[in-house]
Amino acid sequence: MEQPGIKPDPHLRETKPSLGERVRDLAWLCALVFRAVPRTATVWALAGALSGVLTPLQLWAGGQLIGSIVTGLEGPDAGSPWIWLAILAASQVAGRFLDVARSYMEATVTERGVPTVQARVYAQATAIDLGDYEHQGFYDATARITNEIETQAATVIRNLQGTFESGPRLVGAVILVFGIDWRLGLIALLPLVPNLVMWFRSGDRMWTMLSDQTRDRRLATYYADRMTDRQAAKEIRLFGLQPHLLGQWSRHYLATRDELRRKRMGLALRTFSLIATSSAFTLAALAWLFFGADLQLQAQEITILMSSFLSLPNWVFNFAENAAALGQFSGIASDTRAFIGRPAPFAPGNAVLCPTPATPESAPEFLTTSVIPHPSVIPSISEESPCEAHPTQSDPMHPQRGPASPGDPSLALRMTEAGSGRSHDALPGSALRDGKLATAPARSGGLLEATGLQFAYPGSERMIIDGISLVIPSGQRVAIVGENGAGKTTLLKLLLGLYEADAGTVALDGVPIRDIPLAQRQRRLSAVFQQFTRYPLTLAENIQVGSATGSATGSVTGSVNEGGGDRRNLDAVLAMAGMDAYVRDQPAGAETVLSPDLGGVDLSGGQWQRLAIARAGYRDADVLALDEPTAALDPMAEVDIFRRFAQLAEGRTALLVSHRLGMARLADRILVIEDGRVVEDGSHHRLRQLNGRYTAMWAMQARWYV
């Protein structure tokens, strides 16, 4: 096979965004937040701008008050100062009211808008290509976004509010000064430009440094979590790991802290020098105007000028500080937009979160959303909503999964919640008889075909899978064996559509697997991986989560108490997985929470294995895979796990990855993988007769038991 060369590493973007791109990305992020609460966000922004306008209004009214008083002292024609006092008093009261209102509205915008952005990020994190996600550098960038988007987006909101207030304040003060003399206006305006550019760019440099620190910061957090983790507490005390863990935490944390301190010190020095230069320019210009030029000013104008020029440095600093923060957080905006804009092969129709119509208005929008198809993963800043009704369609690739007709024999096995629209299918490949599973004949679906498969991991030129072609008939049990690093798990992920091949194709029942709509593909493929997930949910939810319909609320296919058929299905799967006796011994039964940290219980390693197999077997899948999840179990427990897996896989296409050949002999067919190629293919008996690689591996393992 032709070697395609080094596979490029995945990146969020190829080049660093320009200043204009970062500003647009910042506007994009703010628009996402604002769309969650448009009316509140609009009033909040206007309140900030109005609060900023009040300051120059007070300057102007104060100047007029002084002028009125001076005129009154000089003659009887002075105007009444009370009108200016009333304006000053009213502006003070309005300012206090706006402060309270802005605080409330800022909390509302943050609490409802930021989770909307988080939901988009988390949805994308679960939908991007698995090969990219498993790349360490790309995963670090992804972790930086997912871990920091909440706090960073909230900080953007706070600094945006500061900009709303300080911007009009500066503009109003400069307009007042321009109204007195245009030369004074230039003196007030010119120092603003370099300050703003410097602060925004400084913020960007700060974000770049924080991005470079991502791995050290993650490791520091990891070691801190281990030192406070309940599960690690035993080994820390028994093996005396405290010095090592504390040393590792200190090394990574202090390295990032010292670099951050140096960066902030440099920023402070640059800020001081720029402010000093700007102040010297302003003082020199003012001195020239007052003493070297013919400048005739009235009392109110002098008052306005003095107040403005005394306050402008602070206002410039506040505005520039907000600009620096926005410059820093424009980095998270650019990264987030690039992340959400990446191809997402596991997104249900490039999904976008939309409100569910039946949702109470008081509920946060991000908790009451549904996933619907959308033509673009990058949302527009426009207010057009892509949300509309999408009717449920039958599965053209798998007609037996379409809507049940009155004459459909499987109709009795489907339970539908009244008013919810969620359907619950019975355990695939089986029928319910008196609450017990009866094995069904082999189904017609599940034919897997691979043609010329090639795959390399990013940053590597070595082909992990190099030219594999094979056909796995429906209902066949196939074991994939080989030494560590041979490519067994990679081949399995390609066959399941989790990886996209660099060359070649994988087809399920004659259809390229990546062309099958995601929801249909997810219903037809199931697996138990070596590192399966232990969800801190109830025992029933740990199994039923394998049949979740993709609701954005995170609910599974109904509570075990909602329908008799669903309850019987769960009981049958628990019995086949060998967990029925354990459930009966628990006071809460299948509703027992499996997490000591949440006040529940924990399972043994073997029990978690059985639960993971039950989860995979519960869903309606034609292909069921087992990827070495028993590596840590003793041989007797492993035999039990494989026996139960074989029962659940009866009638389906079954793929078994194992380095223990004693289990592989239970398969109809064995594939021996070496250096990314299938070097032997046949039954256990036939491969033993070949006296090749499989026979050598068998003899080597057999010596451990003789």
Higher pLDDT, 177 or 98: 98
**Pairing mode, strands 511-512 and 436-439:** unpaired
Residues in the chain: 706
Chain segment 532-574, per-residue pLDDT in tens: 888 888 999 998 885 644 333 344 444 444 444 466 778 888 8
User: In the chain, what percentage of residues exceed pLDDT 90?
Assistant: 18
Instruction: Give CATH superfamily name and number for 448-534+622-705.
Output: P-loop containing nucleotide triphosphate hydrolases (3.40.50.300)
- Note the pLDDT of residue 207: 66
Q: How confident is the model at residue 423 (pLDDT cuts 50, 70, 90)?
A: very low
- Tell me the sheet residues that pair with 680: 672
Chain segment 142-186, per-residue pLDDT in tens: 888 888 888 888 888 888 888 888 888 888 888 888 887 777 777
| Matching residue, tokens 């990314």 | 676
Residue 571 to residues 95, 127, 220, 545, 565, Cα–Cα distance (Å): 65, 32, 44, 15, 10
State the Cα–Cα distance between residues 151 and 357, nearest whole angstrom. 29
- Is residue 284 within 8 A of residue 291, CB to CB? The reply is no
**Residue type for 71, please?**
T
State the Cα–Cα distance between residues 103 and 638, nearest whole angstrom. 60
- Note the pLDDT of residue 16: 79
State the Cα–Cα distance between residues 467 and 256, nearest whole angstrom. 45
Q: Report the helix count and the strand count for the chain, using DSSP H and E.
A: 21, 16
Domain boundaries, the chain: 19-340, 448-534+622-705, 536-602
Query: Is 365 strand, coil or helix?
Result: helix
Class (C level, CATH) for 19-340: mainly alpha
Query: What global pTM score does this model have?
Result: 0.70
Radius of gyration of the chain (CA): 34
Find all residues with CB under 8 Å of 175, minimum gap 6, and list them.
56, 185
Angle between helices 564-576 and 605-618 (to 10 degrees): 130
| Matching residue, tokens 């602060």 | 199
Terminal Cα-to-Cα distance of the chain (whole angstroms): 42
- Note the pLDDT of residue 289: 65
Phi-psi region of 674 (alpha: psi -120 to 50; beta: other; left: phi over 0): beta
Chain segment 74-94, per-residue pLDDT in tens: 555 556 778 888 888 898 899
State the Cα–Cα distance between residues 530 and 520, nearest whole angstrom. 24
